[in-house]
Amino acid sequence: MTERTLIKHLAARDDGPVTVSGWVDTVRDQKKVQFVVLRDESGALQLVNPRNDETADIADTISNLSNGSFLTVTGDLKHDERVKLGGIEVKLSGIDVVGAAIPETPIAEDSSVDKRLDWRFLDLRRPEQNLIFRVQTTFEHALRSWWVERDYIEIHTPKLMASASESRAELFEVGYFEGTAYLAQSPQFFKQMAQPAGFGRVFEIAPAFRADPSFTSRHATEFISIDAEISWIAGHDDVMRMHEELLVAGLTAVKEKHGEEITAAFGVEVTVPATPFPRIPLAEAKRIVADRGYVVPRADEDMDPEGERQIAAYVQEEFGSEFVFLTDYASSIRPFYHMRHEGDASLTNSYDLIFNGVEISTGAQREHRIDVLEQQAREKGLDPEELGFYLDFFRYGVPPHGGFGMGLSRVIMLLLHQPSIREVTYLFRGPNRLTP
């Protein structure tokens, strides 16, 4: 038996015998000739079977094929520029139905996203979905390569925690033997632990969990968080510099490998941003947005979604950038471990990164002085005794450090201009979805 060939490799092969495996996309069962479009993980191919006495068995099999059935076929590869699908086709000599599908499919092209998510394994057969996860693979690999080439250490932090890393309001509680554990909202405390451990620079790409009952296009209860933490920084600008260089590496890899496919599938041109990204203090950003006719409802709060869209539009108009760092957030809306401005404790050395009008990341310089850290925790209504294991990190020496956390699905959603992270998450989890 000839070794299976991926469809994407057929164009480079000479005419002759081939074996291809995949699933049935469409069947055209005509009186004199039959056509089958076969897909595999790499592309689509036209199979052809002229009807005659010698091909009667193959013809009967094709006539009874249902879309979605998995086949292994043998035949003769022929290059023919008249064939619209890749300029090649395979004239069948054998066909083996290895996994027959039920004829009636439960979803269609116009099915709602919720219906498609109910049958996600079928929805993922769409070429656009295949491309989404190839893009994600390339993007993640490029990030890891950038870090590893610069001597970062990859860590894997636990997702079961004894106490909160952020706010208890967004914690999932789980039974843990005779007690209670919590699903990690982020690897924040543990990636910081690597700093007094002397690791210097660390990263992680892993799940995180938020018990947030939000039903927006950007929220999920389980998501993949991209995190990094670095020692010996002079301020949060060092974190931003690392963050933007990392993203340039990821987007460059995606554009080089998938740029043309992305344009064909989604009508989107991948743009590799210039550095440095624009940096605008939050208070100034709110004034800019107000001048554009939109006032963020609460002056003492974070930028809301409409404010993010407005500042992104301004940055695109003024700087031609899809990215903008909003900096210098008020300490009242930032966690206790964010370092505050020297001489102005009302502001923090922190930022949010906006991409195409949506926040994708939060980063900051961390407070590393134990006395200041304990005081800031008390000001937030936290009991230092409950933070004992975390505060211990700072009692035995820790360098100045900072880092960020970034949502993978948000980046991919915005990169490909998709309407929801549900379209770019392999298996989405939200307040009303735990299956499949």
Which positions make up the binding site for L-aspartate? 166, 210, 362, 366
3-state SS string for 351-363: EEEEECCEEEEEE
- Residue 175 CB: number of other CB atoms within 10 A? 8
Task: Name the binding residues for ATP.
Answer: 359, 407-410
CA–CA–CA angle 145, 247, 270 (5° rounding): 110
Contact 208, 238 (CB under 8 A): no
The whole-angstrom separation of Cα 213 and Cα 217 is 12
Helix (H, G, I), strand (E, B) or coil at 325: strand
Helix pair 408-415, 127-149: axis angle to 10 deg: 120
The annotation places the binding site at 166, 210, 359, 362, 366, 407-410
Indicate the SS3 state at residue 103: coil
Q: Would you call 148 helix, strand, or coil by DSSP?
A: helix
**Helix/strand/coil (H, E, C) string of 330-348?**
EHHHCCCCECEECCEEEEE
Report the first-to-last Cα separation within the chain, whole angstroms: 37
Two tokens, residue 13 = 């092969």
Contact of 350 with 338, CB cutoff 8 Å: yes
Cα dihedral angle (314, 317, 318, 324), rounded to 10 degrees?
A: 50
Nearest to 200 by CA among 338, 401, 389: 401
| Three-state DSSP class for residue 23 | strand
Rounded to whole angstroms, what are the CA distances from 124 to 61, 120, 354?
26, 6, 29
Matching residue, tokens 């390569």: 145
Q: What is the dihedral of CA 308, 287, 242, 155, to 10 degrees?
A: -50
- From residue 405, alpha-carbon distances to 11, 67, 239, 303 in Å are 42, 42, 11, 18
- Which of 360, 333, 361, 359 is CA-nearest to residue 347? 333
**Quick one: which of 261, 260, 257, 265 has its CA closest to 128?**
265
